[in-house]
Amino acid sequence: MTLNPQLPNAEDLLLILEQKLAPFIQPKTAIVGIHSGGAWIAERLFPSLQQSHPDYSLVLGMLDSSFYRDDYNQRGLHAETRPSQIPFDVEEQHIILLDDVFYTGRTIRAAMNELFDYGRPASISLAVLVDRGGRELPICPQVAALELEIPPQQKLQLSRDENNQLQFTLEAHA
């Protein structure tokens, strides 16, 4: 159920995020999207980031951190659970971790725990389309296309249509 039609344009935020990420690209940079929204963002941004930094060999990966969450017993698996794909050596990589909406920090903590199972990165930077506040852990994004206050009883949800276009909906939080 959509609760508020005044939502940010996800496609516009994608362009803003791409611009803000430019200074973070360096040699040995890996773009890693968190399933599902962060993976969609990574898939969309990776080609243009690669093209705008031809001297660096950027690599792309995807994480599904569901099994690493501290609330796995309550949440279980999502319908769109996919295996993680990290087809590169994480050791000494500068990881740019992408997610759609930052809220409590629990998804990011889980994603970092999974990344460390693959190796020890040189650094991890977090980039999101929307930082909605509400932290429960001392984790925050280094890059956010937009900061937006959303009441705790609402959930900002990113979706993708058949043309690969991204859009937000606002739903009642379960």
Distance CA 160, CA 28 (A): 30
User: CB under 8 Å to 116, separation ≥6 — which residues?
Assistant: none
Split at pLDDT 50, 70, 90, the class of 147 is very high
What CATH number belongs to 26-72+79-156?
A: 3.40.50.2020
Cβ-count burial 72-107 (b if 16+ within 10 Å, e if not): eeeeeeeeeeeebebebebeebbbbbbbbbbbbbbb
Mean pLDDT of 132-141: 94
Q: pLDDT tens across 59-89, in order?
A: 999 999 887 866 655 545 455 567 899 999 9
Q: Which residue has the tokens 């319908």?
A: 79
Distance CA 111, CA 60 (A): 15
Give the CA angle between residues 53, 54, 55 to the nearest 5°: 95
Greater confidence (40 vs 72) lies with 40
Parse the chain into domains and list their residue ranges.
26-72+79-156
Cβ-count burial of 157 within 10 angstroms (0-12 exposed, 13-18 middle, 19+ buried)?
middle
1: pLDDT strictly greater than 50: no
Percent of the chain topping pLDDT 90: 82
Mean pLDDT of 31-46: 97
Distance CA 143, CA 119 (A): 24
Residue 52's SS3 state is helix
Q: List strands edge to edge, sheet with 59-63.
A: 59-63, 29-34, 94-102, 123-131, 143-147
In this structure, what token pair is assigned to residue 42?
């990574």
Distance CA 155, CA 152 (A): 7
Distance CA 132, CA 149 (A): 5
What is the value of pTM for the model shown? 0.90
What local confidence, expressed as pLDDT, does residue 173 receive? 76
Percent of the chain topping pLDDT 70: 89
User: CB under 8 Å to 22, separation ≥6 — which residues?
Assistant: 49, 52
Which range among 23-32, 72-81, 103-112, 127-136 shows the weakest confidence by mean pLDDT? 72-81
